[in-house]
Amino acid sequence: MSDVVTVEVGLGDRAYDILIGPKLIARGGELIQRRLPKARCAIVTDDNVAAVHIEPLVESLSAAGNAPAVIKLPAGEKTKSFDSLEKVVDDIIAARLERGDAVIALGGGVIGDLTGFAAGIVRRGMNFVQMPTSLLAQVDSSVGGKTGINSPRGKNLIGVFHQPKLVLADTSALDTLPAREFRAGYAEVAKYGLIDRPDFFAWLEKNWREVFAGGPARTEAIAQSCRAKADVVARDEFETGDRALLNLGHTFGHALEAATAYDGARLVHGEGVAIGMALAHRFSARLNLASPDDAARVEAHLRDVGLPWRMSDIPGSLPDAEALLGYIAQDKKVSRGALTFILTRGIGQSFIAKDVPASEVLSFLKENHPG
């Protein structure tokens, strides 16, 4: 497989590979069997992904002697719910899969997060394989073992850490993505440059059109993103330190997602992250931590690629600033009531800021609120 790039997530005896390249869904049976010999499988997917990708994966697994159970769910963020989790757990048990068997997540971040959570709790932990079909999932949610579902009170508040045994990032699958979904995933790619890889961000500013077009630049961007995340996960698997840097843009972004009731017609996750990253850089400039020029540079790049970068880019009305602050206070990165943000001293110079005064955040939200 000379056309496949391998990135290792170094977690000792739980280390695993991320394979990045074309046609990996069609090779899934062989690749999974090589790492999990004799494991029976269930595939969890959504209706949209199944229409395009389920057939070659089922054929591949069947050819390897493993006819899988298939569990289909509705597409969309609202699937990350207790109802969907109950269905997946019940269907896995009904298929008589054992602890040594494997649950495969075929889809975007919603399917990956939900499936990983189910695999982590059924029989106290089953094998789990990520087959991400969206750019966002390939560069972010499929790597690192964070799984979960949403609460009406906030995003991803219920879940477990459960590492996959293998990640197969099929770059061919990205050719079928709607343009909006690809752009949303690109926000997470840009994030890695903004955290601590300024040279990568500068490369993206020059090469983003080639990344969008496909080919070697796209594979390179995905591989660089996965290496960046794998390095952080290897240092801090359970987010007690550096791993929190991966949440750049997410505190604001998650609050905006909750404020729009996870309505994907108004705002999808990557778009929330894009606005959140712009807000984080602008907030850092407001606190005199970074230059306003850096915030302007981030906003310009997001605008160039077609991503939203301000709250007024979200269709419809938003709750007031006090309500948005309430969503932020429910965020997982809050510790004993103190607000924690990922802020920055410049491009690629992000850091964890603890005990951020709520009054500063509220004032900033009021200044930037479209109302």
Polymer length in residues for the chain: 371
Residue 254 is among the residues annotated as catalytic for this protein:
yes
CA distance 100 to 37: 10
Identified catalytic residue from 250, 282, 297, 301: 250
Identified catalytic residue from 146, 281, 282, 301: 146
Residue 229 is among the residues annotated as catalytic for this protein:
yes
Q: Provide the CB-side half-sphere exposure for 172 (13 A, CA).
A: 13
Give the number of other CB atoms < 10 A from CB of residue 1: 12
Identified catalytic residue from 243, 297, 301, 332: 243
Residue 78 is among the residues annotated as catalytic for this protein:
no
With the C-alpha atoms ordered 174, 206, 221, 302, is the resulting torsion angle positive or negative?
negative
Residue 188 is among the residues annotated as catalytic for this protein:
yes
Q: Residue 230: which of 21, 9, 42 has the closest Cα? A: 9
Identified catalytic residue from 80, 155, 269, 301: 269
Q: Ramachandran region of residue 17, left (φ > 0), alpha (ψ -120 to 50) or beta?
A: beta
Residue 322 is among the residues annotated as catalytic for this protein:
no
CA angle in degrees (0–180, nearest 5) for 12-17-20: 160
Identified catalytic residue from 247, 299, 301, 332: 247
CA angle in degrees (0–180, nearest 5) for 339-117-120: 115
Identified catalytic residue from 165, 229, 281, 333: 229
Identified catalytic residue from 188, 237, 271, 299: 188
Residue 250 is among the residues annotated as catalytic for this protein:
yes
Identified catalytic residue from 80, 155, 254, 282: 254
Residue 239 is among the residues annotated as catalytic for this protein:
yes
Catalytic residues: 124, 146, 188, 229, 239, 243, 247, 250, 254, 269
